[in-house]
Amino acid sequence: MTTNRTFTMVKPDAVESGNAGAILKMIEEGGFRIVALKKTLLTKERAGEFYEVHAARPFYNDLCAYMSSGPIYAAILEKDNAVADFRTLIGATNPANAAEGTIRKLFAKSIEANAVHGSDSDENAAIEGSFFFSKTDQF
């Protein structure tokens, strides 16, 4: 099922360094419509639930600590081909490999503190969106 929606988080490093507004501006200028948006703080347990798919990876514990280290912005975004186009806009996981002009190239600090999350499939976009938002939060 194609929903034309993706899910993003502006991660703690980008919020802490005051880049959330600039990142949301790039997202809107990239043609994405903000369907839902909130600033929130994940507990380590909830970060662990969100990134459950990575539970076996060596960086999982650090990732959960980092993702709960400060507030994030969570958002559902809409655009044709949203999942793939958003991954293009944010760039590679490791900012050292991210293309010029991408959000991670501009704002990420490291492979872990990489400024933004972007869903990797339509199915996960829907799961991740409903992790943060009820249907009545989505316009």
What residues make contact with Mg ion under the rule CB under 5 A?
120
Q: Is 122 in the site for ligand ATP (CB under 6 A)?
A: no
Shortest Cβ distance from residue 87 to Mg ion (Å)? 9
Establish whether 117 is a catalytic residue: yes
Instruction: Work out which of 93, 122, 130, 137 binds ligand ATP, going by CB under 6 A.
Output: 93
Binding mask 43-82 for ligand ATP (x = CB under 6 A): -----------x----x---x-------------------
Long-range contacts of 97-101, Cβ-Cβ distance < 8 Å, separation of 24 or more: none
In angstroms, the CA 48 to CA 59 distance is: 12
**72 closest CA partner among 63, 81, 61, 80:** 63
* Among Mg ion, ligand ATP, none, residue 111 binds (CB under 5-8 Å by kind): ligand ATP
135: CB partners within 8 A, 6+ apart: none
Q: Determine the Cα–Cα distance for residues 30 and 8; give it in Å rounded to an integer.
A: 14
By the criterion CB under 6 A, which residues form the site for ligand ATP? 54, 59, 63, 93, 111-112, 114, 117-118, 120
